[in-house]
Amino acid sequence: MSVAQQTVKKFLNDPEDIVTESLAGLGAAHPDLVRIDFENQLVLRKDAPVQGKVALVSGGGSGHEPLHGGFVGLGMLDAAAPGAVFTSPVPDQMLAATKAVDGGAGVIHIVKNYTGDVMNFKLAAEEAADEGIEVESVLTNDDVAVEDSLYTAGRRGTGATVLLEKIAGAKAEAGGSLAEVAAVARKVNDQARSFGVALTSCATPAAGTPTFDLGPDEMEFGVGIHGEPGRRREKVRSAAEIVAEMSEVILGDLNPAGGSNVLAFVNGLGGTPLIELYLIYNELTKHLEDRGLTATRSLVGDYITSLEMAGVSITILVLDDELTELWDAPVHTPALRWKA
């Protein structure tokens, strides 16, 4: 896999400033919802800390917008700690976020399973504990493209992270205890599986060139959200064939009981238009019906992206009454809003 040499055009001033300038824009666009702590590079809920409420902190490399900063607000996250593009934030950021949002009921760290994120959050959680703040870490690892074995870093955290942040955020807003919020968060992760496919590479602002070469007729099957290659590279097929195999991999691993209700999440990776995402959703419903599953809730759009990558990920979450109720609860963040 060689690095392609062509330059990818981007709206930039200095590539080094992309995260700061983007955060400034987020804060300016949504002053009623969030405030930006530039010193620690954090997005904080406007009214944080909310006294007596369990606080939710997430973080990770930038380049996945709206994840995580766009999900800060009522009914979702209390703070997001964005790192450099595709690079985990540092423990100082997570510690500062934890201290800024702790309302006395404890703090949940939502960590996507990547080596860097896990290590940096671990160091931050240890320091927070030293300062007397109770922290529960919840790991997301829903990506079935990665074989979960002793011989890998384990499954990656992808689409389920969005659903988890919404549902756990609702549980916290409803007054759930630290243990209760952590339990429902882990339930979401346990009952969700994801799989992604890329049609083009992304290009980090610092590199300026595509992270990997993908021929005009090729796709990366099982791609990750950082442009890291997936299971295999193959010729592009029809959407029906691609979605059929994605569904098979996801549902084969999740193995939901017939008759289950599910949340079907079709997520754009940044460079795929909504018209194609809905086409994919249409294909997906056929496979859900074939297995006797009903998509009682849905989410379609760009929620966890990989810069300008053209591609899609599908996440299926098995719902029960509790998860459905929490999904439906009011939310008001820059990127997700209903009933509030």
Partner 1 sequence: MSFNGEAKVNTGTVHRWFVEAASNFHEQRDYLTQLDAAIGDADHGTNMDRGFTALLEKLDGFDGPPGKLLTTAGSTLVSTVGGASGPLWGTALRRAGRSLGSGDEFDGAQLATALEAALDGVVELGAAQEGDKTMVDALGPAVRVFRESIDDGTPVPAALAAAREAAEQGMKATVPLQAQKGRASYLGERSIGHQDPGATSTVLILAALERSVASER
Which chain residues interact with partner 1 by CB under 8 A? Answer: 1-3, 61, 83-92, 114-116, 119-120, 122-123, 145-147, 150-153, 156, 204, 206-207, 211-212, 224, 226-231
3-state secondary structure of 105: coil
> Least CB distance from residue 73 to partner 1, whole Å?
25
| Sign of CA pseudo-dihedral 58, 61, 67, 70 | positive
Residues 6 or more apart whose Cβ sits within 8 Å of residue 149: none
Give the number of other Cβ atoms within 10 Å of residue 292's Cβ: 11
* Residues present in the chain in total: 340
Specify the residue, 207 or 295, whose C-beta has the smaller distance to partner 1: 207
Cβ proximity to partner 1: between 73 and 91 the closer is 91
Catalytic residue status for 226: yes
Which residues in the chain belong to E strands, given as ranges? 34-37, 42-45, 55-62, 79-85, 107-112, 135-140, 192-198, 218-221, 232-235, 261-268, 294-301, 311-318, 331-332, 337-338
Closest CA to 61 of 195, 184, 211, 198: 211
* Nearest CB to partner 1, comparing residues 42 and 319: 42
CB of 196 to partner 1, least distance (A): 12
Starting at the earlier edge strand, list the strands of the sheet with 218-221.
232-235, 218-221, 192-198, 311-318, 261-268, 294-301
- The CB-of-89 to partner 1 minimum distance in angstroms stands at 6
Give the nearest distance from C-beta 338 to partner 1 in angstroms. 33
Tell me if residue 276 falls in helix, strand or coil: helix
Closer to partner 1 at the Cβ: 26 or 90?
Answer: 90
Cross-strand pairs, 73: none
**8 Å CB contact between 227 and 309:** yes
In the bound state with partner 1, the residue whose beta carbon lies nearer, of 41 and 333, is 41
331: tokens are 């939310």
Q: Are 44 and 96 spatial neighbours (Cβ–Cβ below 8 Å)?
A: no
Q: Which residue in the list 64, 68, 109, 287 is annotated as catalytic?
A: 64
Indicate which residue of 68, 109, 226, 287 is catalytic. 226
User: For residues 230 and 271, which CB has a smaller minimum distance to partner 1 in the complex?
Assistant: 230
Active-site positions read 64, 226
